[in-house]
């Protein structure tokens, strides 16, 4: 049983612009990005009962799969392949996977408590040492180590719940 029209409109309203940015960063073609977003919403509408885990993750994975399908389809038609702004399949897939990983990690980090998120961002994204993170966060270095340990465990659990494979 597919979603009703009001739910589909809400999905498009809430996630359409983020999906469009995601696709544009991989393809750089506004028309293609709009087509991929519409196809993504259409597939979500058709397969709604089968969605397990994070809804946003499902949307991004669906958009990624559509981009891959479009690329493969364009490779079967040489005249379209020459017009395409996407030339190297490894580069395209790498860029799309990197973007998808960023989006999923951002969503997972937002589910952590503020204390755990602050420690992970300081240690892993800002590349602070434990002592630098302790000074920056105004907590003892032992607390930084402890929070980092528990934050990573919580992050692994969240990513598992989101259906992200290692």
What is the pLDDT confidence band of residue 28, given thresholds at 50, 70 and 90? confident
Please, which pLDDT band fits residue 82 given cuts at 50, 70 and 90?
Answer: very low
Q: What is the rounded average pLDDT of the residues 75-98?
A: 62
Q: Is the pTM of this model over 0.85?
A: no
Nearest residue to 33 via CA among 82, 85, 89, 83: 85
Residue 2 has pLDDT above 60, yes or no: no
Assess whether pLDDT exceeds 50 at residue 166. yes
The pLDDT tens digits for 5-15 are 677 787 888 88
Lowest mean pLDDT, pick from 81-90, 108-117, 155-164: 81-90
Burial pattern 82-105, b for ≥16 Cβ within 10 A else e, equals eebebeeeeebbebbeebbeebbe
Judged against a pLDDT cut of 90, whether residue 40 lies above it is answered with no
The pLDDT confidence band at residue 80, using thresholds 50, 70 and 90, is very low
Question: Would you call 151 exposed, middle or buried from its count of C-beta atoms within 10 A (0-12, 13-18, 19+)?
Answer: buried
For the stretch 48-57, pLDDT in tens is: 656 666 777 7
User: Higher-confidence residue: 49 or 155?
Assistant: 155
């Amino acid at each position: 049983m597919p979603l009703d029209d009001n739910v589909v409109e809400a999905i498009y309203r809430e996630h359409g612009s983020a999906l469009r940015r995601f696709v544009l960063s991989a393809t750089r073609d506004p028309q293609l990005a709009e087509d991929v977003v519409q196809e993504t919403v259409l597939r979500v509408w058709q397969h709604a009962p089968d969605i397990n885990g994070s809804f946003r993750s499902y949307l991004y994975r669906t958009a990624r799969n559509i981009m891959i399908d479009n690329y493969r389809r364009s490779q079967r038609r040489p005249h379209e392949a020459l017009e395409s702004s996407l030339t190297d399949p490894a580069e395209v897939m790498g860029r799309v996977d990197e973007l998808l990983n960023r989006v999923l990690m951002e969503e997972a980090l937002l589910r952590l408590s503020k204390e755990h998120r602050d420690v992970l961002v300081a240690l892993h994204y800002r590349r602070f040492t434990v002592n630098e993170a302790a000074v920056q966060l105004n907590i003892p270095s032992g607390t930084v180590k402890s929070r980092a340990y528990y934050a990573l465990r919580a992050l692994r659990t969240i990513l598992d719940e989101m259906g992200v494979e290692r």
